[in-house]
Amino acid sequence: MSDINHQPTIFNKIFSDTTLLLALTPFAFTLIVFMYQIGKFFFYDIPLQHISISLGQLFSFWFGFFIAVGLIGFGLIDLLIGMIFKYKLGRLFEVLFFEAFVLALIIFLLLFPIAPLENTLVFTSIAFSLMLISNLIDAGTNKNKQLSYLERIESNHAQSKYKKQIAKSFENNLWEKLSERYYLGFFCVYVILGVPCKIGYLLESTETKHWVDGTKHGLILVQAQNDFHLLKEYDPTKKVLKNGYIVRPISNNDIHYYQVETGRISKL
């Protein structure tokens, strides 16, 4: 009788998973904002010891994230799925584009944090195109002329998937001992650490408006902390950042900052 009472129910499992998710969500968002700040500080060559995350930054990121993902992201996905199945393109998308799309997305997420954006887009496009062409050519290897072109692609896809599953059952090396959960976990950690950092760097490098010192427009306000401001000097003519940075204590109430059109500023 006691064994039955202590047996976990489906409700206990759901509650446990939900509690864990709620506990990790603030930490994940804080880590993402922190990595975004690292990318920003890398651009201005300011030591990371000056990074400070405020509640305002966290709430603004949360708001922007949920608007982007919740309203725009899911709305766009729902629209695309509706269009695919409305025009009966579900099978075509699955056998032709799905694998190519997943491969391109993985390559993009792997290259984006460490490679220039232009190169990342080029390699992603090449990977998508090659996978798509491979799927199109694959139908030619199926000699069963009784099947349609799409059915031949589906048939070859099913056979290839079956062969991979059979091959995996005979493999017994270190990589096969690791479950897909670990691969996915490492990949998610890489994305959480790398992508926000690169986005922070790119946004600062493409920004055309900056807050500058009211008395010296060659000083950019990088970040306002509780006790001091971080400033970076740049050449307004060459649009290039200068070496070093300035830590200005908040003690002078006469200092004002103005947002001006500086144009894109690059590093030395």
Tokens encoding 217: 């427009």
Closest to 188 (Cα-Cα) out of 59, 32, 76, 14:
32
Give the H/E segment covering residue 234. Answer: strand 228-235
For residues 218 and 235, give the distance between their C-alpha atoms in angstroms, rounded to a whole number. 6
Tokens encoding 209: 């408006």
- Report whether 77 contacts 237 (CB < 8 A): no
HSE-CB at 40 with a 13 A cutoff on CA atoms is 21
- DSSP type of residue 95: I
Give the H/E segment covering residue 82. Answer: helix 74-86
Helices (H), ranges, 116-246: 117-138, 149-170, 174-177, 180-206
Residue with tokens 């509706």: 82
Helix, strand or coil for residue 78? helix
pTM above threshold 0.85: no
Which tens digits make up the pLDDT trace of 155-181? 666 666 656 565 555 545 545 555 566
Closest to 34 (Cα-Cα) out of 50, 49, 48, 53:
53
- Report whether 265 contacts 217 (CB < 8 A): no
Q: Which pairs from 153-158 meet CB under 8 Å and 24+ separation?
A: 153/95, 153/96, 154/91, 154/95, 157/95
pLDDT tens string for the chain (268 positions)?
444 444 455 445 444 555 655 566 677 778 888 898 999 999 999 999 888 877 767 777 667 666 666 666 666 666 666 666 665 556 666 667 777 888 888 899 889 998 888 999 999 999 999 988 887 776 666 666 566 666 666 666 666 665 656 555 554 554 555 556 677 778 888 888 898 899 899 999 999 999 999 888 889 999 888 788 999 999 989 999 999 999 988 776 667 889 999 999 998 7
- Report whether 223 contacts 232 (CB < 8 A): no
For residues 108 and 263, give the distance between their C-alpha atoms in angstroms, rounded to a whole number. 28
Q: How many CB atoms lie within 10 A of CB 96?
A: 21
Q: How many CB atoms lie within 10 A of CB 120?
A: 19
